[in-house]
Amino acid sequence: MTATDDVLYPEIEPYASGMLDVGDGAQIYWEASGNPLGKPAVFLHGGPGGGTSAVHRRLFDPEKYRIILLDQRGCGRSVPHASEPDADLTTNTTWYLVEDLEVLRAHLRIDKWLVFGGSWGSTLALAYAETYPERVTELVLRGIFTLRRSELDWYYEGGAGNVFPERYADFLAQVPGVPPGERIAAYHSLLFDADPAVHVPAAVAWTTWESSTSTLLEDEEHIAEAAEPASATAFARIENHYFVHHGFFREGQLIDDAGRLEGIPGVIVQGRYDVVCPAVTAWDLHRAWPGSEMLIVPDAGHAFKEPGTLRALVEATDRFASA
């Protein structure tokens, strides 16, 4: 038994699942587990492009929650997959994903649900809640990411490289000579090149940079899993597509519009040493969101499975289970 097993709920299997047609030729995978009559909660995975896994079900008490997981457009078990040679991400934007959540909610005949999201999942959760606040009972968010220019520049254009110089050198090896401010764009050309000899090494370098910097102590197993070519290609392409377009937001939009969340109880869990999504963004959100609660985990980076972060997240879902 691992340390995470002591915090998480036991493993469970879905009692229902399916592929939902959301238009534009896209179908998203969804599943439901836990108590069919329990409190609805939807888990929004990171990336964008990351996909869900069985461990995400275990963040919720299965006797009290109706646990909904989905793979967002282009990744996981959803189709078409962004790793395909002719992948078209034209209709893969934040606002399409927000509407996909509404289609899924209506399909499952859910009136309101708790929304849980970490990293990019926090971005999507905020975009959804600010658009449909009447559909959200609570928010549980981790590793806040709002795609402001400063956040993208910090992580991809040089800032975080001062903390992980040897890892950033591997990231830069794919775009030699490209100056700061142009590296996300340079990767875009590589990732969407039709030749696998070009886009696969770029995708692996992109995902390895993220997986190797997400935990306080490097997790070699996680780094190796993230480098699998098909999933790395989908992950890197979708992320880069969103980042080139600044998340399809106006600058600072999610923080500026946080007042729309007033009246929605929420917990923000943030690792003190999160290099991927530094704590200043969580702090800015907390100050802009009336009534929010912010918990800083003193010995954690970005990943949700770090012990202190995981404990705080499960405590939050437990607290809201009977609300």
**Do the strands 266-271 and 293-297 form a parallel or antiparallel pair, or are they unpaired?**
parallel
The active-site residue, picked from 56, 81, 286, 302, is: 302
Examine the residue annotation and report whether 119 is marked as an active-site residue of this protein.
Answer: yes
CB 177 within 8 A of CB 153: no
- DSSP helix/strand/coil, 307: helix
- Residue 219 annotated in active site: no
- Which among 71, 100, 257, 274 is annotated as catalytic? 274
Amino acid symbol at 181: G
Three-state SS string across 113-147, please?
EEEEEECHHHHHHHHHHHHCHHHEEEEEEECCCCC
CA–CA dist 17, 90 (Å, integer): 27
Q: Side-chain half-sphere of 237: how many Cα atoms within 13 Å?
A: 29
Phi and psi at residue 74, to the nearest 5°: 85, 0
Instruction: Give me the catalytic one of 119, 214, 231, 292.
Output: 119
Q: Is 211 a catalytic residue?
A: no
Task: Identify which of 75, 89, 158 has the alpha carbon closest to the alpha carbon of residue 120.
Answer: 75
Residues annotated as part of the active site: 119, 274, 302
